[in-house]
């Protein structure tokens, strides 16, 4: 089994300090293959915020990769924002804004959706989408191809943020390019499942939209993160959320998807096959929750 932890919207500068140790402990307890962060590591792209974010990531004791979010570019320094929007991010987090990691049965590839000309709205650039699809072009057909981006390719019409520019065409190209899963953040809300804007199309990627893992800006929800457990042909997504005591992350919800043809289709949890079925050529299910 391979496991990814998906964090998002850490917002150091407005992070809840009482959640730092519980979140580190929760991530370490599930022993991920890699931790993926879908942007907004900082609140105002200040040096001290980037340093705090980097210290947090290094304290996890696991491999990690991240992509920038709109808050990771300076807002009140227009000259720097225009000419060097990612300078501090590259110095303190990662020079690579679109990192890629191959985990055998999965490949995760970053997509930078930030726009220096917009405060919040993201943009799906055609060249970046093309490069990402090229990263998915090789390898076995049953590999899980996972995109990580800050801005969602779909959001509730009631959301108070402008939708990402070029999202519909980009999503269609991701489908044709073999993407299976899109990890995103930005809205501080949780959603896992098919893209609702593509009704009747089971062959497209699913979305795993995490809330904020650390920020105090909860927008009516709770702090959370996602676990992605993968075995050949099957993906289990678990929401780990803060309990009523405010300092412990526990399992809140779970969704299971099985590969059918070229897409991932949700299946009832009680139909998931057991660990022993792997010996008979069926799908193995392994799950560990602290």
Higher pLDDT, 17 or 160: 17
Q: Are 145 and 181 in contact (CB under 8 A)?
A: yes
Q: In angstroms, rounded to a whole number, what is the distance separating the alpha carbons of residues 232 and 278?
A: 9
- Give the pLDDT mean for 281-285: 36
Which CATH fold topology does 2-280 show? Answer: Purple Acid Phosphatase; chain A, domain 2 (3.60.21)
- pTM here is 0.90
Return the structure tokens found at 282.
């069926």
Helix (H) or strand (E) holding 253: strand 249-260
Higher pLDDT, 40 or 138: 40
Q: In angstroms, rounded to a whole number, what is the distance separating the alpha carbons of residues 92 and 85?
A: 13
What's the confidence (pLDDT) of residue 157? Answer: 76
For 61, phi then psi, to 5°, come to 70, 25
* 80-102: pLDDT as tens digits: 878 899 999 999 999 999 999 99
Q: What pLDDT band is residue 273 in, cutting at 50, 70 and 90?
A: very low
* 106-136: pLDDT as tens digits: 999 999 999 999 988 999 999 999 999 999 9
> Cα–Cα–Cα angle for 236, 273, 290, nearest 5°?
45
Return the structure tokens found at 98.
């679109």
Closest of 193, 99, 183, 118 to residue 146, by C-alpha: 183
pLDDT at 158 over 70: yes
What's the confidence (pLDDT) of residue 79? Answer: 79
């Amino acid at each position: 089994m391979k496991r990814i932890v998906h964090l998002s919207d850490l917002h150091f500068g407005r992070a809840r300090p009482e959640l730092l140790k519980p979140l580190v402990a929760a991530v370490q307890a599930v022993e991920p293959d890699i931790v993926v962060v879908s942007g907004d590591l900082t609140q105002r792209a200040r040096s001290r915020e980037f340093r705090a974010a980097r210290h947090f990531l290094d304290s996890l004791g696991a491999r990690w990769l991240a992509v920038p979010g709109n808050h990771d570019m300076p807002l009140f320094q227009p000259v720097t924002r225009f000419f060097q929007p990612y300078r501090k991010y590259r110095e303190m987090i990662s020079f690579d804004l679109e990192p890629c990691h191959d985990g055998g049965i999965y490949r995760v590839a970053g997509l930078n959706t930030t726009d220096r000309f917009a405060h919040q709205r993201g943009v799906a650039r055609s060249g970046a989408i093309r490069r990402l699809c090229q990263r998915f072009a090789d390898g076995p057909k049953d590999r899980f191809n996972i995109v990580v981006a800050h801005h969602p390719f779909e959001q509730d019409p009631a959301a108070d943020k402008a939708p990402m520019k070029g999202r519909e065409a980009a999503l269609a190209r991701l489908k044709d390019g073999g993407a299976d899963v899109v990890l995103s953040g930005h809205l501080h809300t949780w959603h896992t499942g098919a893209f609702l804007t593509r009704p009747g199309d089971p062959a497209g990627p699913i979305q795993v939209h995490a809330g904020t893992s650390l920020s105090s800006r909860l927008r009516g929800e709770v702090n959370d993160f996602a676990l992605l457990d993968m075995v050949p042909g099957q993906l289990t997504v678990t929401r780990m959320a803060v309990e009523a005591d405010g300092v412990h992350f526990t399992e809140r919800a779970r969704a299971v998807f099985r590969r059918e043809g070229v897409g991932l289709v949700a299946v009832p949890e009680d139909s998931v096959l057991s660990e022993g079925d792997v010996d008979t050529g069926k799908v193995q299910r392994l799950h560990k929750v602290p």
